[in-house]
Amino acid sequence: MIKLDPQILTKIQLGGLPDLRYYLQKAVELEHSTIPPYLTAMFSLKPGVNHTIATLIHSIVVEEMLHMTIAANILIAIGGRPEINKRGFIPEYPGPLPMNIGDLIVGIEAFSIPLVQNTFMAIEEPEDPIHIQPPPTFAAAAQPSYATIGQFYDAIEKKILDLGSDIFVTKTAPPQVVNHHWFPPSKLFPITGPEIACAAIEIIKTEGEGTSTSPFQSGHDPAHYYKFGEIVNGRRIVRTPNGGYAYAGEAVLFDPAGVWPLKPNCKIDQFKKGTQARTRIERFAYSYSTLLNSLHDTFNGHPERINAAISMMYDLRVFAVSLMETDALAGGGLTVGPSYEFVDTAGGMPG
């Protein structure tokens, strides 16, 4: 579970508009920070096998992108400017996610059941997970003083309502990103006032954690925590006759042979200039940085550039292939994994 410093809640409660903007920028960073680890796990699944798992992770990545977009739109709506193309925007992997003070360390690794169970489920864990039979083996240790992501978003909602419609700017803000080619109007809509901002935040909370009474965020679509639970337990969630829930549905098969054996937490500097590993990891990192640049433009006055950003997401998928096929020269047959360092120069060959 991501644990925030309780002082953050106090700062939001007692602070004014600048603090609210500051923490919405943090929300953008937090929502983004889950994408690299999830994306890497998804990329590491070889085509043709583990299809259901890849589809489940893909659906979560898409929703994290939606959450990042919603947070950025709210920030824009209250006169802020999302800052996305800067070095500190991407957290250091392995490391804590933005604002987290708990001991959860998130790295960039190939897919594995323990990764999903110990890291991804921990990222998405609600404050009070609904008991699903059989329960996930993962157990959270009680910690005395921390705030949850849910509380963080609650505090933001409350502050927005407190400050009221005066903080919502119309003419001075760059346009929000409201593109229904990629997200339906029920999930992505213009943020024009306090109530609608709160409704949008509820989407983030529900898709991530579910509701307090159901693991499903809507229909039969489980929230992230429970989707990862389905992967770990090898079964989809179904309702039980007694009104509860069980991992007893359709099988979610995992074939361990269908995963690229990525060296964990690869960094550009670990590879010598002029090697295939180096040029390929640099190409990936440069492309990821390009994606962030295009997103920055998207959220700073050029919403139409969302198309270039989405295209880059698919390009990344393709660029990951040759990378993951490259020997990391680390022994054990490990291959090169992606790096999400912010890079502003295409390179990797000797001068």
Partner 1 sequence: MSYLDSPRLHFRGWFQADVSTINNDVRFFQNASFVPEYQQLNQNDKGLIQNNWNPEGTGVFRFLDCAVTSLDGITVQNATARAPGKLVDLDPQQQMVSQIWGMQIRLVDAAGKTLVQGEYKPAAFTNLWLRQQDEGLPNDQQLAAVYQSVIEGVQWFDISRFPLLQSLQSATQAGQLSINFNVFGYSRNNMVPRYTMGHVVGTIGPYLQGEPKQFVRGRQFIYTGNWPVPAGGMGNMQAKVSSNGNTVTADFGNSFPIERANSGLKDIGQVFLGVLATNPPTILSTVSSGQVALIGEVPYCTGGWYDRTAGVVDFELNSNARQLIPANPLVVVSPAADGSYTVRLQETIDGQYMRADNFVYRIDPGQTQHIEFYADRFGAPIANATINLSVTQGFMGGAGGGKTVQPVTRPRAAIPAIATPADAVQWPTSVTADNQGHATAPIVASAEGPGTPRGYLSSQIYGIGYQLASQPAGYVSNPMNYVSILAYSKKEAPETPTWYRDIQYLFTQYGNLYPIMGRYVVNLADYHDVVRRISILELAFSLPIEEPDHMPVTRDLGAGDRATILKWLRSRGPDGLPPLGTPSQSPPVPPPIVDEQAEAALPELRPEQAAGKTAVLLNLEKRGRIAPFSQKGPSK
Backbone angles phi, psi at 237, to 5 degrees: -80, 140
Pick the stretch among 144-152, 190-198, 229-237, 319-327 that binds partner 1 (CB under 8 A).
319-327
Smallest gap from residue 280 Cβ to partner 1 (A): 10
Task: Select 9 or 306, whichever has its Cβ closest to partner 1.
Answer: 306
Nearest to 73 by CA among 303, 317, 329: 303
Smallest gap from residue 291 Cβ to partner 1 (A): 9
Token pair listed for 83: 């800052």
Q: Decide: 53 and 45 in contact? Cβ < 8 Å.
A: yes
Interface positions, 278-297, toward partner 1 (CB under 8 A) = 279, 282-283, 289-290, 293-294, 296-297
How far apart CA 307 and CA 175 sit, in angstroms, is 15
Q: Does 349 bind partner 1 (CB under 8 A)?
A: yes
Nearest to 319 by CA among 303, 337, 331: 337
Q: Give the one residue of 322, 329, 330, 334 binding partner 1; rule: CB under 8 A.
A: 322
Task: Select 252 or 343, whichever has its Cβ closest to partner 1.
Answer: 343
Q: Does 276 bind partner 1 (CB under 8 A)?
A: yes
First and final C-alpha spacing in the chain? 46
Task: Select 202 or 344, whichever has its Cβ closest to partner 1.
Answer: 344
Q: Does 203 bind partner 1 (CB under 8 A)?
A: no
How far apart CA 2 and CA 139 sit, in angstroms, is 14
Q: Does 72 bind partner 1 (CB under 8 A)?
A: no
Tabulate helix, strand, coil % of the chain (nearest 5): 50, 10, 40
Interface positions, 18-47, toward partner 1 (CB under 8 A) = 47
Q: Give the one residue of 130, 310, 328, 336 binding partner 1; rule: CB under 8 A.
A: 310
Tell how strand 132-133 and strand 245-251 pair up.
parallel
Q: Give the one residue of 210, 262, 305, 335 binding partner 1; rule: CB under 8 A.
A: 305
Task: Select 146 or 182, whichever has its Cβ closest to partner 1.
Answer: 182
Q: Does 84 bind partner 1 (CB under 8 A)?
A: no
Q: Does 52 bind partner 1 (CB under 8 A)?
A: no
Quickly count: other Cβ atoms within 10 Å of residue 199's Cβ. Answer: 13
Q: Does 69 bind partner 1 (CB under 8 A)?
A: no
Going by the DSSP 8-state scheme, the letter that residue 2 receives in this structure is: -
Smallest gap from residue 64 Cβ to partner 1 (A): 17
Burial annotation 7-29 (CB, 10 A radius, 16+ → b, else e) = ebbebbeeeeeeebbebbbbbbb
Smallest gap from residue 266 Cβ to partner 1 (A): 17
Q: Strands (DSSP E) along the chain, which ranges?
A: 132-133, 216-218, 221-222, 235-239, 245-251
**What is the contact surface with partner 1 in residues (CB under 8 A)?**
47-48, 181-182, 274-276, 279, 282-283, 289-290, 293-294, 296-297, 305, 307-308, 310-312, 314-315, 317-319, 321-322, 344-351
